[in-house]
């Protein structure tokens, strides 16, 4: 068993403890373009373990060598889905070789080197001894992803997270080879991105969050810094502005955009609304790191179908005119969807909840809605109708040739309460109160048990990618966010990267436990599931400093 998540495509394990890496071991980049990657790897290993490696050195002194090659020994099929960079998927394949004389990481492009070093970081952490040495087993790894788009959608509206806190999330994503951070930047509770022509969005609109949580927003400069930090880890940041529903913060900032439709809906026929949408999309085109933009489109409660379709069609046209390819939540399939469109599928729930919603028997469901979520029992009828209509969304999108990002709430919504108890007794309060109670509690083993290809049945060619989502109704701090994110994010990464249906839970959990020392050293507040034998950390007090 190789203690790496996601599991590499092909591994050949040799002698145990064949190579010792210590404070005098070095890292050498064969090409100048890899120098920054080498330095970030050294910094990451310090943060992961406390072990300091040395940058540079000659051929006789280097323990780890990074190099670009014209070809790899193993040819992999291209990954399924869309590349977050647009065009053909970036080749993320790599070869990692550990022998008694050193480590080599080879790839066709720098992104492959980044992915190979994520694997090496996990090997180093899992093999660290108390005398500040990592005893690596001899191994040959050839690896490549199953899906080109492997993402996380993060709600920064209901709880605002600083750029420093977002970087912590990006660090966790990079470790597990994920490559899209989808930031949900607007909702009824707040607006989180600076738009120069509409300054009140970040004055009145950004003031506050859910409940009494503090508000905030990202300046264009701060957002650009996040884009760079993510790009250095081969991650694309996808901005989302949610329209025409969930627009309460917009209408608080600019009440003149309010129509008779209601306090959180943008009416495409109301004066100024499409001008607003045009300016926002144009601003996102300037700061967005890739060719995609997410324009929401979900839960436009109370909006007539014709008005909804008119808005989505107009927003799509504006995005294309700005040079962006729009993504919408699955409800947008009810507009003039075409073969160049992308929808994000989310309305797949637990079978028992789906049965209640489809049957209209909402009594039991109503009892599970906590009062602090502010969902009136009467609203459940609207939600049930929304769910019934949504049953044809994905099939309609596939029929029209659109691509589908898979984010089924049944397995990829990470705001679900954990079922099993934590091993750490200090986590019992978090375990009790975090997560939306409308979702039945589920173990991390049950969340792990799914295959993305099966989600679309006979149409795997329609899959654009795989993306988890973390909503923050019950999450107020970065510690709480990390508690809900880990360890389930690792399981999502496993399903999105590893080839084929992948590992069983029994095998996967053996690779999950050895992750704990690295997570502890990073200070990540992960849920200590009682279903996993978590490894303990060796002491790093004697590890040398530069």
Strands 26-29 and 54-55: parallel
Selection from 146, 251, 19 nearest residue 465 by Cα: 146
Q: Which tokens belong to 68?
A: 């670009």
DSSP codes joined into one string, 435-448: S-TTSPPB-HHHHH
Tell me, what DSSP letter sits at residue 472?
-
Q: Which residues contact 455 (CB under 8 A, 6 or more apart)?
A: 345, 348, 406, 408, 463
Selection from 144, 235, 153, 242 nearest residue 193 by Cα: 242
DSSP codes joined into one string, 239-285: EEEEESSS-HHHHHH-GGG-BTTBTT---TTSTTHHHHHHHHHHHHH
The alpha carbon of 28 is separated from its chain's Cα centroid by a whole number of angstroms, namely 31
- Please give the Cα distance from 490 to 479 (Å, whole number): 17
**Rounded to whole angstroms, what are the CA distances from 374 to 302, 380, 381, 537?**
17, 12, 15, 43
Burial class (CB in 10 A: 0-12, 13-18, 19+), 276: buried
Burial class (CB in 10 A: 0-12, 13-18, 19+), 71: exposed
Q: Which tokens belong to 335?
A: 């507009």
Selection from 3, 63, 5, 69 nearest residue 38 by Cα: 63
Residue 299 annotated in active site: yes
Catalytic residue from among 30, 138, 222, 299: 299
Residue with tokens 């839970």: 505
Residues labelled catalytic: 299
């Amino acid at each position: 068993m190789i203690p790496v998540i996601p599991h590499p495509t092909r591994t050949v394990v040799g002698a145990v403890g064949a190579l010792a890496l210590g404070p005098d071991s070095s890292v050498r980049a064969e090409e100048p373009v890899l120098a920054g990657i080498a330095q970030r790897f050294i910094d990451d290993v310090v943060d992961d373990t406390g072990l300091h490696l040395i940058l540079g050195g000659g051929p006789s002194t280097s323990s780890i060598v990074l190099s670009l090659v014209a070809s790899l020994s193993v040819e992999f099929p291209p990954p399924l889905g869309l590349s977050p960079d647009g065009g053909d998927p970036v080749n993320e394949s790599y070869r990692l070789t550990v022998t008694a004389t050193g480590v080599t990481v080879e790839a066709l492009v720098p992104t492959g080197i980044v992915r190979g070093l994520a694997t090496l970081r996990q090997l180093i952490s899992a093999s660290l001894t108390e005398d500040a040495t990592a005893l690596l087993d001899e191994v040959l790894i050839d690896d490549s992803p199953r899906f080109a788009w492997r993402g996380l959608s993060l709600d920064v509206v209901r709880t605002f997270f600083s750029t420093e806190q977002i970087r912590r999330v990006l660090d966790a994503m990079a470790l597990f080879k994920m490559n899209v951070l989808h930031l949900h930047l607007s909702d009824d509770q707040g607006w989180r991105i600076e738009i120069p022509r509409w300054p009140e969005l970040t004055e009145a609109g950004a003031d506050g969050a859910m409940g009494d949580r503090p508000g905030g927003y990202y300046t264009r400069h701060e957002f650009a810094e996040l884009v760079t930090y993510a790009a250095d880890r081969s991650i694309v940041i996808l901005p989302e502005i949610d329209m025409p529903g969930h627009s309460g913060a917009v209408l608080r900032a600019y009440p003149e955009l309010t129509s008779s439709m209601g306090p959180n809906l943008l009416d495409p026929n109301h004066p100024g609304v499409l001008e607003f949408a045009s300016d926002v999309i144009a601003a996102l085109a300037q700061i967005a790191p890739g060719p995609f933009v997410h324009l929401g489109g979900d839960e436009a409660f109370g909006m007539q179908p014709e008005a909804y379709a008119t808005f989505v069609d107009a927003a799509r046209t504006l995005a294309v005119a700005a040079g962006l390819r729009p993504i919408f939540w699955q409800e947008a399939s009810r507009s003039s969807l075409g073969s160049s469109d992308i929808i994000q599928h989310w309305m797949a729930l637990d079978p028992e909840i789906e049965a209640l919603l489809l049957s209209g028997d909402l009594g039991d469901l109503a009892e599970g809605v906590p009062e602090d979520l502010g969902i009136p029992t009467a609203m459940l009828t609207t939600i049930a109708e929304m769910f019934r209509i949504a049953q044809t969304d994905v099939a309609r999108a596939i029929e029209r040739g659109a691509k589908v990002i898979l984010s089924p709430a049944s397995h990829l919504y990470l705001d679900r309460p954990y079922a099993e108890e934590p091993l750490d007794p200090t986590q019992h309060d978090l375990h009790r109160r975090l997560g939306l109670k409308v979702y039945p509690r589920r173990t991390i083993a049950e969340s792990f048990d799914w295959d993305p290809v099966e989600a679309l049945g006979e149409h795997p060619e329609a899959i654009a990618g795989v993306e988890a989502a973390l909503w923050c109704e019950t999450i107020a701090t970065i510690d709480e966010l990390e508690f809900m994110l880990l360890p389930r994010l690792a399981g999502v990464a496993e399903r999105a990267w590893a080839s084929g249906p992948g590992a069983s839970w029994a095998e996967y959990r053996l690779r999950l436990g050895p992750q704990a020392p690295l997570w502890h050293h990073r200070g990540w507040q992960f849920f200590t599931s009682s279903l996993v034998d978590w490894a303990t950390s060796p002491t790093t007090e004697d590890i040398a400093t530069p």
